[in-house]
């Protein structure tokens, strides 16, 4: 694989790699470093990428593992999840924009309190919008286990949102 083909492969997924890194590492600098490191690793194995059924899933797995290694190495002590890629395209009223950002912060706070596995599954499925087959390759989990864990995570999020809005659910 030459440089041009590699760039054609990497360009569509580099933002996904960055967003997953940012989700796991929190710091923008750490996420940029992780993205760069994953790109280097992919470049070093560029001749083997065609052997993989889903090179994108491989890239996401490398990203996930690298980020976990960084967290385990205590290079990133901040385990909060903050996703600052939110933009309101409509730009209606200032009040609605403030409410939307406030709601997003509440959801981020709720996601922060999920287990690491639930956080990753929410990131991969609901934010990155990966298919279940890709998630299986990345997480090495059974598809049914992924669906069950996602369902439970979403129920936790829903319950907390309703609780914060004082809708009082059981």
Asked whether the predicted pLDDT for residue 163 surpasses 50, the reply is: yes
Residue-level pLDDT at 92: 54
Q: What is the pLDDT of residues 20-76, one digit of tens each?
A: 998 888 788 889 999 999 999 999 998 888 888 888 889 999 999 998 888 877 543
Residues of the chain within CATH 1.10.1740 domain(s) are 1-83
Q: What is the rounded average pLDDT of the residues 95-112?
A: 82
Residue 123 to residue 62: CA distance in whole angstroms: 15
* Residue of higher predicted confidence among 130 and 92: 130
Which run of H or of E encompasses 116? helix 116-122
Using pLDDT thresholds of 50, 70 and 90, give the confidence band for residue 127: confident
At 49 the pLDDT is: 82
pLDDT, position 85: 38
Cβ atoms 112, 24 nearer than 8 A: no
- CATH fold for domain 93-170: Arc Repressor Mutant, subunit A (1.10.10)
Answer whether 139's CB lies under 8 Å from 124's CB: yes
Contact predicate 121/152, CB 8 Å: no
pLDDT at 141: 92
User: Options 1.10.3470, 1.10.1740, 2.60.40, 3.30.1140; which CATH number does 1-83 get?
Assistant: 1.10.1740
pLDDT value at position 80? 38
Q: What are the start and end residues of each CATH 1.10.10.10 domain in the chain?
A: 93-170
pLDDT of residue 151: 92
Q: What is the pLDDT of residue 168?
A: 52
* Digit-coded pLDDT (tens) for 68-91: 888 877 543 433 333 333 444 444
Q: Which helix (H) or strand (E) holds 136?
A: helix 132-139
């Amino acid at each position: 694989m030459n440089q041009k083909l590699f760039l054609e492969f990497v360009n569509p997924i580099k933002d996904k790699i960055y967003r997953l890194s940012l989700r796991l590492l929190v710091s923008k600098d750490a996420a940029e470093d992780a993205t760069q490191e994953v790109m280097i690793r992919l470049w070093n194995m560029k001749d083997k990428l065609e052997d993989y059924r889903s090179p994108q899933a491989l890239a996401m797995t490398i990203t996930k593992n690298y980020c976990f290694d960084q967290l385990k190495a205590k290079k990133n002590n901040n385990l909060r999840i903050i996703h600052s890629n939110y933009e309101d395209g409509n730009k209606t009223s200032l009040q609605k924009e403030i409410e939307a950002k406030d709601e997003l912060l509440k959801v981020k706070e709720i996601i922060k309190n999920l287990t690491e596995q639930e956080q990753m599954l929410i990131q991969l499925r609901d934010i990155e919008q990966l298919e279940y087959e890709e998630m299986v390759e990345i997480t090495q989990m059974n598809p049914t286990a992924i669906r069950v864990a996602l369902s439970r995570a979403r129920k936790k999020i829903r319950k907390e949102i309703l609780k914060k809005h004082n809708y009082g659910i059981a």
